Amino acid sequence: MARPVRILFPLVILLAAAAAGGTALWWSALPPVVRLAGVERGPAVEAVYATGTVEPVHWARVESLVSARIEEVLVRDGEAVRRGQLLARLDDAEAQAHLRELEARARFLQSEVDRQQELSRRGVASAAAYERAVSELAQVRAAIGAQREALARYELVAPIDGVVLRRDAEIGDIVRTAASRVLFTVGRTVPLWAVVEVDEEDMPRVRTGLTALIKADAFPGRALDGRVGEFTPMGDPVNKSYRVRIALPDDTPLLIGMTVEANIITRRADDALLVPEGAVAAGRVFVIEDGVARARSVEVGVVGNGRAEIRAGLSGDERVVAAPPAGLADGMPVRLRES
């Protein structure tokens, strides 16, 4: 009686496998299940994305034109200053000593000119000696003028009216002309603009006057207003970008130096037809008619935030397949699963 049992067990396995295969074939033969979504109306916005920083419209950097030690700092961060106001003094002892040497040399040469002039008048000395003394005196006087101008460089002054936006100068610091270093940044806190870099591919869509929505990490969840004020006619061939300046309102909460993201609105449609972004594939959507999928060619506009704008191809009363399954074709029967 053991032999029939050994034969029956493999038969059971084969029958189960055949049943499973038949079930798989049956399921694969069923029409695909699709989910429908309505066509909505709402705003569609096309924008150019850019990043940058907030800068004053009017500002200037102050650097030293001479190498010296900082001897005195006369202003603080945030202090209001006037154009020409002294910001700091550098140690000019060596330059002053050189000026005194030149002045002493000039006094000596002046006496020599006077002496040669008297000798020439009496016929004791030649006119050439007198002219040589006069020439030497003129050279020294020119050197004195140049040295006095050089001494002015030891005093750092504000180039414009404004406030000290940033002070990077401390008493005792050594500044060197070989290593460029900004000691003071002076500017006005109003007006401000966001200076952003726009990819060269997007620049043809950017023009002055366009509205911009600006976001900053310091103000999460807020979209701040701006307007394109100007942009550089020449782009950066290395970074392949153009610099665009977005004017900010006087009451903007943004602060100088903040990093920002900007969306420059190049087109806005307030009553656009919108479908789920996943409903569009290869320039068409599917609608269902009597349980059959029908492909509709559409003109797609703005795509983003999970929605796609349909400019042509739909009336707005249809319901579309929210996410067409792979292999869905025109005229194929489907089973519906409502949203």
Please provide the DSSP assignment of 31-80 as one string. Answer: PPEEEEEE-EEEEEEEEEEEEEEEEESSEEEEE-SS-EEEEEE---TT-E
Q: Output the pLDDT for position 338.
A: 60
pLDDT tens column, 170-182 = 999 999 987 889 9
Query: Which long-range CB contacts under 8 A does 302-308 form with residues at least 24 apart?
Result: 302/44, 302/45, 302/46, 302/267, 302/269, 302/272, 303/277, 304/45, 304/277, 306/276, 306/277, 307/40, 307/42, 307/44, 307/274, 307/275, 307/276, 307/277, 308/274, 308/275, 308/276, 308/277, 308/279, 308/280
Residue among 243, 264, 266 at smallest CA distance from 55: 243
| CATH match of 48-57+189-269 with 3.40.50.970 | no
Please report the pLDDT score of residue 7 as a whole number.
42
How many whole angstroms from its chain centre is CA 42?
30
Q: What's the CATH architecture for 61-91+154-187?
A: Beta Barrel (2.40)
Q: Across residues 183-190, what is the average pLDDT?
A: 96
- Give the dihedral of Cα atoms 273, 277, 280, 281; nearest 10 deg: 160
pLDDT number for residue 290? 84
**Residue 245 to residue 262: CA distance in whole angstroms:** 11
Q: What are phi and psi of 144, to 5 degrees?
A: -65, -45
> 102 or 127: which carries more pLDDT confidence?
102
Assign residue 293 a region (left: φ > 0; alpha: ψ between -120 and 50; beta: otherwise): beta
Q: How confident is the model at residue 304 (pLDDT cuts 50, 70, 90)?
A: confident
Tokens encoding 304? 């983003």
- The whole-angstrom separation of Cα 246 and Cα 258 is 14
Measured CA to CA, the distance from residue 265 to residue 297 in angstroms comes to 27
- Of the listed ranges 3-12, 34-43, 174-183, 324-333, the least confidently predicted one is 3-12
Per the CB < 8 A criterion, the answer to whether 264 and 35 are in contact is no
Q: Which of 317, 322, 246 is nearest to 277 (CA)?
A: 322
**pLDDT of amino acid 215:** 96
Tens of pLDDT, residue by residue over 112-167, are: 888 888 887 777 777 788 888 899 999 999 999 999 999 999 999 999 999 999 99
Mean pLDDT, residues 265-289 taken together: 85
Cα of 40 vs its chain's centroid, Å: 35
Q: Where are the domains of the chain?
A: 48-57+189-269, 61-91+154-187, 93-152
Question: Band of the pLDDT at 196, cuts 50, 70, 90?
Answer: very high
d(CA 197, CA 35): 42
pLDDT in tens, 55-99: 999 999 999 999 999 999 999 999 999 999 999 999 999 999 999
Higher-confidence residue of 330 and 16: namely: 330
Confidence check: pLDDT of 23 > 80: no
For residue 69, how many C-alpha atoms fall within 13 Å in the half-sphere facing its CB?
6
